[in-house]
A and B are shown apart, each in its own frame.
Chain A
């Protein structure tokens, strides 16, 4: 069906790199797509290397193996082929021939492609390349090479207007220095005809972890799910959305402007980690999956839009925890960690990541008897290993007092949310940038000021002082096991897994500039604390923990308070006395090489 030579070559390389999965591996459904006739739901099984095909009527599934870890799905207009994006530096989108049940071809993408979206005419496939911070535009007919359009940071979800003119891309994380007054992730609007970003819509201050995006059936509104972190104030409490709130931002398609942001929590009960979002075809209901609280929000779309219009103070809507009272129902699912969501009629299908199942629930309030949620297992039940249990708990807001947040709310994918938080462990009024959990057990102490002697202590302190809960020790042990199991994602700056020429030169500079003194391989930290005269206010004169540089390419912004937008700022603007590496003497080329090396770690 797809005959490009380029594509064929990529397919071969992906197949060669295909990892072997044990038969008893978890499925971890992450995304779904429904056939137009509503008879079939396709499910991306992230950790199983499989696509599950669910027969809706019979509630049975069969599995099609795909090479790699599926991240997203799109269905061809004729319903005969399925586009499956798979994670990894080489990425790629496999084309599954649904009639034959095999892979008929593969398409090249960037690093960790996600959320494939097909144009209405079926000729163009858009794919978010999460770690390349761009979107691939792949023409499915002809030999035209894919075009890459840069967006802001970690695009993870996308929605196309029904006329195919604008692609709205949700960027997971804020970009820019965390110490500025307004820190928020954005939605990039791609004008598909022009092939470029026509607008970058910054969401309200504190927006991070954008996960889901959809367009209303009439094409008038774009809905984006995300976390709204109240990061400016000290986390003395979680009640009433004091730390993290869960939000839905509404974008007006016609003007391509943010209309407003509403909260999905209740006054005394959070609805953490909103993920998938979808409308019923008739536009009556808008449905959100809450990955942290294992439930669905069902919102009456028209009523919500009417309330927005009538709001006395539109700028205050994003603070109103009661905005949706009366027009939103919260419906529990049976499974754990719902992420992707599709709707067939009024029946929602949710990818329950941690319970390896598809949650099914008819959201029609008039149905009688009242529908109960059920879960269709995607494979034999597998007992959680400590690592898997830890990962589940890390993502579970039910641990938290009033369910406001899970560990992952500030540490999406166990990394960073790009925000500065003013935790009480080192006083109030001295916010610090969220840190990566990778290697945290090998790189004690924890926290920028080394307040916690070890990651073990930090995990337990996090449960106590951020989730405000006393939990059994076994929970902390499981979370430890999970964090210890984390593996670095290869840097997008590597070329075929190797350092680029520039990075290779930069490696020399790294030694010459004295970086290795404190950041020696393999951890790229000597585990010591140094006063580089970077502390301000209460932290003036204090030494800071030397962080690892592994995966530093994905943990911007930099320095303890995220003041440095990029690595270049670390070496230049914020290194005036040459204390943080001897970088003054470096030529611009050498500096670039050094940065390239650091970003390759």
Chain B
């Protein structure tokens, strides 16, 4: 219940922000709004990638204008106003650069619009690095397009023309608004703007057509492409095209015809679409697996158990054969009829299926044998349960009774690996979500028989939907947030089957969509197909193709195949416009999906069927169950077994079993604005996990809640405790070579000579013991191969691998803990001036408790001053809900170099009193994103102040 309370509170805050336009709203008595894409004349084009600039706050259609081929760029709008008035003219736009456009009313200039870059458009590194001074602290927190007032313009009643033009690349206007202080007549309604489909890219016309209407242009392209691709294998293709041409002609003639005529025509078009799509050569196979199940709209951020609720009447893993609407459906697991089926996978030779199923409140993994010839169960002992509960699970259930950690284990989403083992996600790692009282599923691996279960990921928050890629790696959704917003970082990552080589695939810097789930390889292609989902609710959304060969940091790599559904951000997509999930790709152009064309999950009649979908957005139902949803379509046939990637060699007997090795080729690859020679060290940091025990105890002690922290850590900075493992030397040529602790959530900071952060990696990396990995640079583009020097080998190679060493003032690895690191320095050096009745600078730095969780000095240093729009220390506010602070930021955007406190202690009189060690303690704390606590131990709430366990210092790890 607490969760929903929070959501409602947030939603209220959010809606407050959404209310547009901001100023003078109370004076507006009438208004005319024009969508920018609904222009009447001009050479502008509608963007082929709508939705990417927006986040959950944007409630408007987001088709935008992009450059035409000729300049000047022009868009003209005819409109009519009902009253004479001095109108306030506003434009809403999103612009990646400063692209001011001239705005003309009836051919007379009335000024310029789109005068600046909106913070929402970050194709880094083209974005101009903005300066700290003079900007509100949370500038980067805004991702929505922005409103801009062009001016107050007297306009007469009647018809007018507005023109936007620019002799250069255009901004991306979204809406134009005339606000009148004079009331509009009561019965006045702005005439509906006529829609010119011809200027809208073919696939996007679905956005403007009625649901399920045939997009004739899209169908034409699809058939034409199949004729070209398949030739005689798609023999009826030319006939379909002729039929379509005839129907289109009739459609033109019938435009003014009767509804009946139009209906007949639409029926004929639908019949053609059905025949043309289901005749695809890709569909010429005879056995399809799917799950028949009640559908429930769950979340990507909660325990996945509730994704697949038990209780479906006849749910089962089923075979459809032949593959047609009339095909025979056979339940394959009569042993487990009804109840909760989760994801399944087919072995590469098509003889086994592994799946997860909830029998007694715990999802466990099961396996059946199939006869690939019939698709039916093989004889003999062909049903096996692979995972089971154990004494540890029983103990946790008893120990944590009453808390969210008391559910025991759930094993979900199993997939066969090329090495014969099975990967799955499980709560066996006993971790909790840092910002919400739910448990975490992380990647696990077990032998084919269910033995030797091993957790292979140290992930902080949920991981789900592993799937083996064509190259043998496993793609999966990884949620994480190192100094980032909490939602909207549910990205695609890949690991090797043993958990090594974890690597970002796509979305970590992109706000929208909130999550990418159900990702799969596309045969013969480097692209990936996935479902775009919201963070809160709904494991469904549009189907998205990702081509990340060129770009992983911007949405340019995404292609929405079903653009009538915009990318869901923090919240799920609207429930009424149909939804997609679980794409299976035959090629870049043809897919099977689960699809529900109407509203989702509101009534019993609303359920998913199996559909064919193509790259032009055409879709056609293949099979539908009269009672239950049909999910996860997958052909039952052998597949190519991908590369069996070699596992990491564990450390030898004479090597440290807890270490891995990192080599950095050139730290300056990807650090724009940082001159060579400035980086002296890499600080190896860890973002620590929250385990069931800590969550349970924090809950009992009421040691959390504020800033969405289940166990309180910071004043709106990161929710994870931070740990400094040490530093490594960066040589003059940018190379570094060092050992790091294995099996930790590591991230790195590039430091200057003063141990101050120049840049921070806001994601994490796991290494296995003995793993040896290398980096091209810091934040380099993922399209880059390591650069070769023409003068020498990397200098660090001659010296390493070196052990991490403590920075001055440290004796070894340690947690970042304000009361231990910073307060003693303040007490010694600062408090004499900054205390008492008249503290210097009106700043009190004494360490007595203040508020429920923190201390006086910590609150003074971390609080946001509404007057100066600053804090004493610059850190990234992560609790700004959901979409905040996701995109990559340039170096020196925040941290010690941007902190007034550091500025102050680097000059007199404060400087003199401070030792280097003390200075380093302070900047390390700031660059750790200013946490207060470095441990979940003890009791934090002020109500426990007399308890011996009140706010203890962290134990030093041995």
Give CA–CA (A268, B784) in the complex, Å: 11
A123 at the interface (CB under 8 A from B): no
A204 and B788 alpha carbons, distance in the complex (Å): 9
- A40-48, A102-110, A240-248: which one contacts chain B? A240-248
Give, as a whole number of angstroms, the nearest-CB distance from B667 to chain A: 14
B773 on interface, CB distance cutoff 8 Å = yes
Q: Select which of B228, B785, B789 is within 8 A of A232 by beta carbon.
A: B789
Chain A nearest CB from B871 CB (Å) reads: 36
Report how far A232 CA is from B665 CA in the complex, Å. Answer: 10
Q: Which of B222-246 contact A (CB under 8 A)?
A: 227-232
Partner of A320 from B774, B784, B790, B797 at Cβ < 8 Å: B784
CB A83 to nearest CB in B, in angstroms, measures 39
Asked if residues B663 and A240 are in contact (CB atoms below 8 Å), the reply is no
Q: Are B794 and A233 touching (Cβ within 8 A)?
A: yes
The yes or no answer to B645 lying at the interface (CB within 8 A) is yes
Residues on the B chain within 8 Å of A242, using CB: 774, 785-786
Bound state CA distance, A236 and B798, in angstroms? 16
User: Known interface pairs A205-B790, A239-B501, A268-B526. Does A428 touch B228 (Cβ–Cβ under 8 Å)?
Assistant: no
Contact B773 A237 (CB under 8 A): yes
In the bound complex, CA of A268 to CA of B549 (Å): 8
Which of B419, B551, B776, B799 contacts A240, CB < 8 Å? B776
Residues of A within 8 A of B551 (CB): 322
Known: A205-B788, A322-B783, A428-B737. Is A232-B793 also a contact (CB below 8 A)?
Answer: yes
Tell which of B551, B737, B776, B784 has the most Cβ of chain A within 10 Å.
B784
User: In the complex the two chains form, is A322's CB within 8 Å of B501's CB?
Assistant: no
Q: A429-B798, A465-B646, A470-B644 are in contact. Are A266 and B788 (CB under 8 A)?
A: no
Within 8 Å by CB of A237, from B524, B774, B790, B794, lies B774
Distance in angstroms between the alpha carbons of A319 and B784 in the assembled complex = 5
A452 to chain B, nearest CB (A): 14
A368 close to B (CB within 8 Å) = yes
Q: In residues 173-219 of chain A, which contact B (Cβ within 8 Å)?
A: 181-182, 204-206
Task: Tell whether, in the assembled complex, residue A234 and residue B644 are in contact, meaning their CB atoms are under 8 Å apart.
Answer: no
Cβ < 8 Å to A, chain B residues 777-815: 782-794, 797-801
Contact status of A468 and B645, CB under 8 A, knowing A236-B772, A266-B526, A537-B798: yes
Please state if B785 and A233 are interface contacts (CB–CB under 8 Å).
no
CA A240 – CA B473 in complex, angstroms? 14
Say yes or no for A588: interface residue by CB 8 A criterion. Answer: no
Interface status of B472 (Cβ within 8 A of chain A): yes
CA distance A325 to B551 in the complex (A): 10
Assess whether B945 is interfacial by the CB under 8 Å rule.
Answer: no
Is the CB of A316 closer than 8 A to any CB of chain B?
Answer: yes
| Contact indicator B782/A370 (Cβ below 8 Å) | no
Please, which residues of chain B bring their CB within 8 A of the CB of A204?
Answer: 788
CB interface residues, B 679-728, toward A, < 8 Å: none
Q: Is the interface of B mostly helix, strand, loop or mixed?
A: loop
Q: List residues of chain A with CB within 8 A of the CB of B787.
A: 316, 319
- B109 close to A (CB within 8 Å): no
Nearest chain B CB to A404's CB is how many angstroms away?
10
- Mask, A425-438, CB within 8 Å of B = 1, is 00011010000000
Query: What 1/0 flags go to B150-165 for Cβ under 8 Å of A?
Result: 0000000000000000
Of the residues B228, B785, B797, contact of A429 by C-beta under 8 Å: B797
Quick one: closest A residue to B735, CB to CB? A233
A236 near B663: Cβ-Cβ < 8 Å: yes
A323 to chain B, nearest CB (A): 8
Given contacts A230-B785, A233-B786, A319-B784, contact A181 B793 (CB under 8 A): yes
A428-B661 CB under 8 A given contacts A234-B772, A237-B501? yes
By a CB distance below 8 angstroms, the chain A residues around B791 are 181-182
Q: In the assembly, what is the distance between CA of A467 and CA of B734, in Å?
A: 28
What CA separation (Å) do A424 and B649 show in the bound complex? Answer: 11
Task: Please tell me if the beta carbons of A233 and B784 are within 8 angstroms of each other in the complex.
Answer: no
Is B503 positioned at the interface, with any CB of A under 8 Å from its CB? Answer: yes
Q: Closest CB-CB distance, A180 to chain B, in whole Å?
A: 9
Q: Write the chain A residue with the least CB distance to B788.
A: A205
B548 adjacent to chain A (CB < 8 Å):
yes
Q: Is A268 a contact of B788 with CB atoms below 8 Å?
A: no
Q: Are B471 and A368 in contact (CB under 8 A)?
A: no
Determine the distance from Cα of A401 to Cα of B472 in the docked complex, in whole angstroms.
8
**Do A241 and B229 touch (CB < 8 A)?**
no
Q: Do B797 and A469 have beta carbons less than 8 Å apart?
A: no
Q: Is the CB of B794 within 8 A of A267?
A: no
- In the complex, B869 has a CB within 8 A of chain A: no
- Who on chain A is nearest to B666 by CB? A233
Size of the A side of the interface (Cβ < 8 Å), in residues, is 48
Give bound CA distance, A234 to B663, whole Å: 8
A268 to B661, CA, bound (A): 23
Does A240 lie within 8 Å of B785, measured CB to CB?
A: yes
The verdict on B167 contacting chain A, using a C-beta distance below 8 Å, is: no
Q: Is the interface of A mostly helix, strand, loop or mixed?
A: loop
The answer, yes or no, to whether A522 is at the interface (CB within 8 Å) is no
Contact in complex: A321, B785 (CB < 8 Å): yes
Contacts of B788 in A (CB 8 A): 204-206, 230-232
Q: Does A477 contact B (CB under 8 A)?
A: no
Chain A residue numbers with a CB within 8 Å of B550 are 322, 325-326
B797 & A234 in contact (Cβ 8 Å cutoff): yes
| A422 CB–B CB distance under 8 Å | yes
In this assembly, does B643 line the interface, its C-beta being within 8 Å of a C-beta of chain A?
yes
B548 close to A267 (CB less than 8 A): yes
Q: Check A241–B549 contact: CB distance below 8 A.
A: no
Q: Which residues of B contact A320 (CB under 8 A)?
A: 783-785
- With beta carbons under 8 angstroms apart, the residue of B230, B783, B799 that contacts A267 is B783
> Is the CB–CB distance between A181 and B526 below 8 Å?
no
Q: Is the CB of A239 within 8 A of B786?
A: no
Partner of A369, one of B232, B643, B665, B785: B232
* Closest B residue, CB atoms, query A245: B785
CA distance A268 to B501 in the complex (A): 13
The residue that B471 contacts in the complex, of A233, A236, A402, A471, with Cβ under 8 A, is A402
Q: Give the nearest-CB partner of B503 in chain A.
A: A239
Bound state CA distance, A320 and B669, in angstroms? 12
Judging by beta carbons under 8 Å apart, are A236 and B773 in contact? yes
Of chain B, the residue at the smallest CB distance from A420 is B793
Query: 8 Å CB contacts to B: which residues of A406-433?
Result: 422, 424, 428-429, 431
Set of chain A residues within 8 Å of B503, measured between Cβ atoms: 239
Q: Which of A311-341 contact B (CB under 8 A)?
A: 316, 319-322, 325-326, 332
Are A319 and B786 interface neighbours, CB within 8 A?
A: yes
Q: How far is the CA of A401 from the CA of B228 in the complex (A)?
A: 33
Is B229 a contact of A266 with CB atoms below 8 Å? no
Q: Which residues of B contact A230 (CB under 8 A)?
A: 785-786, 788
Q: B878-902, CB under 8 A of A: which get 1 and which 0?
A: 0000000000000000000000000
A13 within 8 A of B: no
Report yes or no: A181 in contact with B792, Cβ–Cβ below 8 A: yes
Interchain CB contact under 8 A, A181 and B801? no
Query: Within 8 Å CB of A322, what residues of B?
Result: 549-551, 783
Q: Which residue of B lies closest to A371 (CB)?
A: B231
* Complex Cα–Cα for A429 and B737 (A): 10
B472: nearest residue on chain A (CB-CB)? A401
A511: chain B residues at CB < 8 Å are none
A-B contact pairs, 27 of them (CB 8 A): A181-B791, A181-B792, A182-B791, A204-B788, A205-B789, A233-B663, A233-B797, A234-B774, A236-B661, A237-B773, A237-B774, A239-B501, A240-B782, A242-B786, A267-B782, A316-B787, A319-B787, A320-B783, A325-B550, A332-B524, A368-B227, A428-B737, A428-B772, A428-B797, A469-B644, A469-B646, A470-B644
Chain B residues within 8 Å of A, Cβ to Cβ: 227-232, 419, 471-472, 501, 503, 524, 526, 548-551, 643-646, 661, 663, 665, 737, 772-774, 776, 782-794, 797-801
Q: Knowing that A266-B526, A401-B643, A428-B737 are A-B contacts, what are 14 other residue pairs whose CB atoms are under 8 Å apart, sorted by A's residue number?
A: A230-B786, A232-B788, A237-B501, A239-B503, A240-B785, A245-B785, A268-B526, A322-B783, A325-B549, A325-B550, A370-B231, A428-B800, A429-B799, A469-B645
Closest 10 CB pairs of A and B: A369-B231, A241-B785, A322-B783, A470-B644, A368-B228, A429-B797, A236-B772, A322-B550, A325-B550, A236-B774
